[in-house]
Structure 1
């Protein structure tokens, strides 16, 4: 059972298209057109073309591509803002907002034509966003699932709450958690494939696989192919085994 997975995109359409080209090359090598491609969430924020990323993925699914797109915390904050300008995501520290420079909501709205969002009163910014962000983009993001199970892998954006049954996991944990998930070494019963916590390179920790190689901060966008217990990263020249 083969699955492809892509880490946190953060508005980098050109990197996403390049990664899909690598997946297409691997498909040609294997003759497999059926394996799903799982996007691990955080489609938007910080990068230059969040609108392009959302439209690329929305159109691909609409056209029948076997893609799974998961919701990340940044995607949830974007959709929350669009529905209510006073929305504050429960996973976000109280002193921050989605439009704070650290979060990157401003570049997302900029990609839709809402300029200088972080420097202007919230009311007019929200009105412009409602006029310029296509409703189908908001609906697409709101409808994204927060987990996907396939074979021996569980795909989520951030991780899971250790010791809690999968059916009882809280959505905020699935899109926001770091600790105690990151330091937990127990066997969860499946390989947790996630992003959210940026690291230098794709890393396999035995019970989890982190795909967030820091595209949000100038790093690469990474993709892997998973076959049972085996994992390879997809490089420019093909598969690279992940220990």
Structure 2
């Protein structure tokens, strides 16, 4: 297999977190194939291809086929791929990360096992069942893709660290980190990135009711693998395609405190998809003190402000929960909160050990 491209240029269609939802992915790809500039269009999948949805193995196979059909295709590594490969021992993660059993317990991995015909939890069986070309696909995925106008990374960039230093670590893929923040940190969704970065950062990882577009930031995950429509953002015009019906929508900011979404017709998408950056008030983010961790390079240790000191578990669990939930709450309008509350009330409430695990799922994404 040829290496996945990590530096691209030209028009781009970036697809949000697929999470095993093969039918939604096929709907997006079918719409893209109808575009007059399809042959010139780069297709970028923003990570989290596995877990939650019904057919992760089918998604991997479809992207391999897509790459043969459309050479301008590339992918970005997500935290669910990291957890899966760490559990299988296919990438050199630290032993104290304990991806086995963390992936099995906290990442909704059951559909990934079943899509390969294996009982959930049977890691040895899964390792045998995954075809060699799927293994190569997963283990060679880049952590970042660069474009002259955009940076594609699963969770985002740290606003408190220099851009070039972060990009060097991302291209090198520093496996010594327990939870690389660019793949795992939900707080990055509320940040527009480092002050020295002039390119727009495009990510998934944090589910939102609609695609979020800010002058220097785009959030593309509109399903979380659980509900809603899979979204695709076509750049540079910021045209939106969605699965199941192929709604064609443009998105603008509407709220000063945290960008929410306002729909416009595609005719006005190119000129009115963002408000001036002065209307966006981002919370100040102070990098917390982190103790050095054995096996982590000096450069990586400075930038990974949420790596724990023991077994990959946050030292201050309540503080991390508040950070994640606080930023997520800022991104929702009052109506979204009401809808989210009603959906929450309809869900079956976990009991016993499942309740003890719930904070992990909110944290891990």
Q: Does the Cα contact within 8 Å between 2:44 and 2:76 map onto a contact in 1?
A: yes
Cα distance per residue 1:157-198 (max 9 Å; x no partner):
11011142333224412211222x233346531111100001
Q: Residues 145 and 94 (structure 1 numbering): CA distance in 2 closer, same or farther, change over 3 Å?
A: closer
Shift of 1:94: 8.7
Between Structure 1 and Structure 2, how many residues are aligned? 228
What's the offset of the Cα at 1:58?
1.8
Name the residue aligned to 2:47.
41
**Is residue 218 from structure 1 mapped to residue 223 from structure 2 by the alignment?**
no
Structure 2 residue 230 is the aligned partner of structure 1 residue 208:
no
> Paired residue for 1:61?
67
Corresponding residue number in structure 2 for 1:141: 138
Higher RCO (CA-CA < 8 Å; seq separation 6+): 1
CA distance in structure 2 between the aligned counterparts of 1:4 and 1:86, rounded to whole angstroms: 31
Larger Rg: 2
Task: Specify the alignment match of 1:9 in structure 2.
Answer: 18
The 2-side partners of 1:56 and 1:225 are apart by 20
Match of 1:113 in 2: 117
Tell me how far 1:83 sits from its aligned partner. Answer: 2.1
In the alignment, structure 1 residue 71 sits paired with structure 2 residue 77: yes
Which of 100, 104, 108 is the matching residue for 1:99?
Answer: 104
Q: Secondary structure at the match of 2:26?
A: helix
Report the CA distance shift for 1:24/1:132 in structure 2 as closer, same or farther (over 3 A): same
Deviation sequence 1:100-132 (CA, Å, 0-9, x none) = 1x4111210111011242xxxxxxx12211221
Secondary structure of the corresponding residue to residue 117 of structure 2: coil
The CA distance in 2 between the partners of 1:95 and 1:131, in whole Å, is 17
**Distance in 1 (alpha carbons) for counterparts of 2:91 and 2:148:** 40
CA distance in 2, matches of 1:109, 1:47: 11
Partner Cα separation in structure 2 for residue 149 and residue 116 of structure 1: 36
Counterpart CA distance in 2 for 1:94 and 1:177 is: 17
- Counterpart for residue 189 of structure 2: 182
**Cα deviation, residue 42, structure 1:** 0.5
Q: CA deviation at 1:139?
A: 1.7
Q: CA RMSD in A?
A: 2.6
1:162 to 159, 164, 168: 159
Are the equivalent residues in 2 in contact too, given 1:160–1:177 (CA < 8 A)? no
Gaps of 5+ in 2: 1-9, 171-179, 253-365
Alpha-carbon distance in 2 for matches of 1:32, 1:214? 25
Secondary structure of 1:33's aligned partner? helix
The answer as to whether partners of 1:47 and 1:107 remain within 8 angstroms in 2 is yes
TM-score (normalised: structure 2): 0.57
Q: Is the 8 A contact 1:158 1:173 kept in 2?
A: yes
Structure having the larger proportion of residues in strand: 1
Q: How far is the alpha carbon of 1:237 from its aligned partner?
A: 5.4
The answer on whether the counterparts of 1:81 and 1:87 sit within 8 Å (CA) in structure 2 is: no
Do 2:211 and 2:218's aligned partners in 1 also have CA atoms closer than 8 Å? yes
What's 1:234 paired with? 241
Richer in helix (by share):
2
Q: Output the TM-score relative to the length of structure 1.
A: 0.83
